[in-house]
Amino acid sequence: MYRPYHTIIGDEKKDTEAHMRILEVRDMTSSIASDNSNAYIDFSKMTCSVVAVITDQFRNGEQIVGYGFNSNGRYAASGLLRERFIPRIHSASPKNLITDTEDNLDPFKIWDILMQNEKPGGHGERSVAVGTIDMAIWDAVAKIAGKPLFQHLADHYNDGKSDGKVWVYAAGGYYYPGKNNNALQDELKSYRDLGYKTLKIKIGAASLQEDMARIESALKISGDGNLCVDANGRFDLESALTYAKQIKQYDLFWFEEAGDPLDFELQSQLATEYELPLATGENLFSHQDARNLIRYGGLRKDRDWLQFDCALSYGLVEYLRTLKMLDYYGWSRRRVVPHGGHQMSLNMAAGLGLGGNESYPHVFKPFCGFADGITVQAGYVQLPEIPGIGFESKSELFSVMQQLID
């Protein structure tokens, strides 16, 4: 049973003059299991964490609750959330969680509290736990401000400029038991019917010959220049170069994550051999790791793509540091297309001037996809004009999130 909203979590004697409070942070684990697989893992037991940050604030008669979840590919971080990170918020002085002007929560102060007594490096699943809470904090921040998150981000970090629509691509083409290339083509046709122009399929879990047949089948649907291929870090250097030699005959949109995400030498050598665009970054979980990729990965500012995922990498607070680092090294934010396929990354893309966003039309429901009733038009999608990230506009997802406060 949910405790009454007026119940204060933590020591009520602390800072009783604070004007707003986080009353409670709750989490649960939700299944996103399916029978698809990529070159490295299957998703038969995949889970994610869902978090609710409950505040004492009301807008238009509704209590402000911020929600967050982690992206697919990393499991729920329940143990870390419950043992370390949520208790740090509950035990913090309320005034240390809000802005100096006491008119909103302060994501940066909260991030510092989450990361107190945490050593550098070794990011692992810790970055997922923090990223999930951070998403919920930003959802609450934008709701308290009464703005869509993308506009709040634009106002504070992008000179007030936001994109009215965001380029999205359809990520699919997973391996499924018994699925042949005709079925792959049917899947890709369904994405085209939904309004997507750029499509992505998986490679690396089959033989080179089989994968080449998959690529050629997919190209018949996507057309030249509109197909991405993703190896999910499966290849060693020899395999990566072998695949690169074979696929460079095609005009692919990008060749994604050929090798281990921390093998910057592999990435650099691949960039010297493969002239077409490369993409990587979804499995780098800090601005320091991202910086090492930029320094040592041989990526090219004029064609390659960066796919850092805030929900997996300590959240938006850390993502802003990553963007600042990219600015320093002369990279355009338009080369950043976050992994994850969810509304948080979509808000970031629109509000911070990123290059676009991933989308999962058919997998990882209900966490995939965007607002109800908003369709993809010629490869672009708009965002709902409601305060926060917009989860309330996605009914199936929001019904899951509400389980935390029922």
**Which entry of 197, 287, 339, 394 is annotated as an active-site residue?**
339
Residue 58 clears pLDDT 70, i.e. is over it: yes
Residue ranges of domains in the chain, CATH in brackets:
22-146 (3.30.390.10), 155-393 (3.20.20.120)
What type of residue is 217?
S
Residue 4 has pLDDT above 70, yes or no: no
Looking at residue 3, its pLDDT comes to: 33
Q: Which of 152, 202, 287, 342 is catalytic?
A: 202
Whether the predicted pLDDT of 11 surpasses 90: no
Read off the pLDDT band of 247 (50, 70, 90).
Answer: very high
Q: In what order do the strands lie in the sheet with 47-59?
A: 22-31, 47-59, 62-69
**1 has pLDDT over 50:** no
With a cut of 90, say whether residue 18 has pLDDT above it: no
- Nearest-5° angle of CA 170, CA 34, CA 257? 50
pLDDT category at 10 given cuts 50, 70, 90 is very low
DSSP collapsed to 3 states, the chain: CCCCCCCCCCCCCCCCCCCCCEEEEEEEEEECCCCCECCCCECCCCEEEEEEEEEEEEECCEEEEEEEECCCCCCCCHHHHHHHHHHHHHHCCHHHHECCCCCCECHHHHHHHHCCCCCCCCCCCHHHHHHHHHHHHHHHHHHHHCCEHHHHHHHHHCCCCCCCCEEEEEECCCECCCCCHHHHHHHHHHHHHHCCCCEEEECCCCCHHHHHHHHHHHHHHHCCCCEEEECCCCECHHHHHHHHHHHCCCCCCEEECCECCCCHHHHHHHHHHCCCCEEECCCCCCHHHHHHHHHHCCCCCCCCEECCCHHHCCHHHHHHHHHHHHHHCCCCHHHECCCCCCHHHHHHHHHHCCCCEEECCCCCCCCCCCCCCCCCECCEECCCCCCECCHHHCHHHHHHHHHHCC
What residues contact residue 204 under an 8 Å CB cut-off, 6+ apart? 38, 39, 40, 211, 231, 232, 234, 235, 243
Active site residue 202: yes
Gap between the terminal Cα atoms of the chain: 7
Residue 161 catalytic?
no
Model pLDDT, residue 151: 98
Q: Write the pLDDT tens digit of every residue in 344-362.
A: 999 999 999 999 999 999 9
How many other β-carbons are positioned within 10 Å of the β-carbon of residue 219? Answer: 19
Q: How far apart, in whole angstroms, are the C-alpha atoms of residue 24 and residue 21?
A: 9
Compute the mean pLDDT over every residue in the chain, rounded to the nearest whole number: 94
Kindly report the number of other CB atoms within 10 A of residue 327's CB atom: 11
Q: What is the pLDDT of residue 124?
A: 79
Mean per-residue pLDDT for 84-107?
Answer: 97
State the helix-helix crossing angle for 287-296 and 264-273, rounded to 10 degrees.
Answer: 40
Does the pLDDT of residue 8 top 80, yes or no? no
- Measured CA to CA, the distance from residue 12 to residue 383 in angstroms comes to 39
- Its pTM stands at 0.95
Q: Which tens digits make up the pLDDT trace of 270-279?
A: 999 999 999 9
Q: What is the per-residue pLDDT for 19?
A: 75
